[in-house]
């Protein structure tokens, strides 16, 4: 059982995106949908209306069983997370969400589930959590889950990605890459370390000894075909 691609989304509307006349989630996992999905609402204080959006997306994609993983993290929720085939990390406050994910032990379970073959989806702050680093309250680098070996930034297009650029600049002695995901866009990260923009363009940032470089990532027309080949 290999690692599944990780889906990083700027916003939850992309969960309902159509690819080749079918929903993006069905497109990702093919004819047989996973049977269970877990939603981690740590970053948005477990707001029920956002969980309802997740439920609607899973129902649309043919997933029958869902569980809201709350910050209280009961035994039943822990067991559901440990067996979930799909796990979505919700958007909201990056720092508050990460505090809960780390202190409750969800972080270790997420890493285990990824290597056991679960699908991981990060929306907004959740996408940041799946990445390599984020800025703490003082603006200093803080390690995240590191399942996607990039510094992930979302919704910074109007600031010309100043936040991720500043963070990469603080890592000037390290060869680190960053991803910028604007509203309406997403990125697929595969276990062979390749990345692909989906739906709308995204940005790749590279910090090396020559300085900071940036590159626009354009969605490919062959995305659905490529994903189907990996899932087969």
What pLDDT sits at residue 71? 97
For the 6-231 domain, the top CATH level (class) is alpha beta
Check: pTM over 0.75? Answer yes or no: yes
What pLDDT sits at residue 228? 34
Helix/strand/coil (H/E/C) assignment for every residue in 41-107 = CHHHCCCHHHHHHHHHHHHHCCCCEEEEECCCCCHHHHHHHHHCCEEEECCCCHHHHHHHHHHCCHH
What pLDDT sits at residue 229? 30
> Residue 176 and residue 99: Cα distance in Å, rounded?
24
Consecutive 10-residue runs of the chain (232 residues): their mean pLDDT? 90 85 77 90 97 94 94 98 97 97 98 97 98 90 96 96 92 84 96 93 88 91 39 28
The domain segmentation of the chain, as residue ranges, is 6-231
């Amino acid at each position: 059982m290999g690692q599944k691609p990780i889906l990083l989304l700027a916003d939850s509307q992309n969960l309902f995106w159509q690819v080749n006349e079918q929903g993006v989630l069905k497109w990702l996992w093919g004819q047989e949908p996973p049977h269970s999905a877990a939603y981690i609402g740590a970053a948005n204080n477990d707001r029920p209306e956002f969980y309802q959006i997740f439920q609607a997306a899973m129902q649309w994609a043919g997933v029958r069983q869902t569980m809201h993983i709350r910050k209280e993290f009961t035994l039943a929720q822990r067991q559901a997370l440990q067996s979930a085939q799909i796990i979505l990390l919700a958007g909201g406050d990056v720092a508050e969400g990460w505090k809960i994910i780390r202190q409750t032990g969800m972080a270790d379970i997420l890493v285990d589930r990824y290597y056991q073959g679960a699908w991981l989806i990060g929306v907004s702050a959740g996408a940041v959590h799946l990445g390599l680093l984020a800025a703490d309250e003082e603006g200093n680098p803080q390690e995240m889950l590191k399942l996607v070996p990039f510094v992930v930034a979302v919704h910074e297009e109007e600031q010309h990605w100043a936040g991720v650029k500043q963070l990469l600049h603080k890592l000037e002695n390290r060869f680190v890459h960053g991803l910028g995901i604007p509203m309406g866009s997403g990125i697929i990260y595969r276990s062979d370390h390749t990345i692909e923009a989906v739906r709308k363009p995204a940005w790749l940032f590279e910090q090396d000894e020559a300085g900071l470089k940036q590159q626009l990532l354009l969605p490919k027309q062959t995305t659905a075909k490529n994903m189907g080949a990996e899932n087969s």
